[in-house]
Amino acid sequence: CVDSHGFVYRSGETYTKDCTLFTCSKGKFIDSIDPDCCRWDNDYYEDKKEWNEGSCIRHKCRKGRVITKQDRYCCFVGLDSFKDGEEWSDHCTDYKCRRGKVQTKLSDTCCKYDDITYNDQESWEDVCKNMRCESGKIKESDHPDCCYFDDYLYRDGEEWIDHCTVHKCKKGRLRKDLDSSC
């Protein structure tokens, strides 16, 4: 057998190139996978070859077997891995990998109100207040259709009786009428 470089091989002799084992047999090369190579994720690695999977896992091919070492202080979240000290964010949560454990905290730009997390610049209403998250701080303003009476907020359309007077909040204005039952 003669290879592509002009080298001559006798029947039974072999050579390896890129994990393919070429064996000379009856004047022709028969190819097969080198048993010392390792298959990983549809790729072949030569003996003693090392490669990384993400930032925390290192593999090494040893005589056809894959040996895997994992950094003990890494954090694994879903299919992602993070090294010790590495930080990342997801919407309103900041994460940090600390000695193999994930630490979380609310992002400085987001707000938490009544156990609900709001993104920066997000708005919502609460009773008679217009609320807005601005760079991690909650800004509130009175809703224009609400009414104040005796340190209490009433929504548009609400009615209540106080000492024979019927009070009604209408578009931010307080209307008073005498209660006919008094």
**Per-domain residue ranges of the chain:** 72-107, 111-142, 147-178
- Name the region of 4 (left: φ>0; alpha: ψ -120 to 50; beta: rest): alpha
Question: What does the block give as tokens for 36?
Answer: 């010392």
For 106-159, the pLDDT digits (tens) are 899 999 999 999 999 999 988 788 999 999 999 998 888 888 888 888 888 999
Q: How far apart are CA 4 and CA 20, in angstroms?
A: 14
Q: What is the DSSP string of 95-149?
A: EEEETTEEEEEE-TT-EEETTEEE-TT-EEEETTEEEEEETTEEEEEE-TT-EEE
pLDDT of residue 182 exceeding 80? no
Q: How far apart are CA 62 and CA 79, in angstroms?
A: 26
- The closest of 2, 68, 69 to 29, measured between CA atoms, is 2
Give the pLDDT of residue 48: 96
- The closest of 68, 13, 21 to 40, measured between CA atoms, is 68
Strand partners, 149: 152
Q: Is the pTM of this model over 0.85?
A: no
For 42-80, the pLDDT digits (tens) are 899 999 999 998 888 999 999 999 999 988 899 988 888
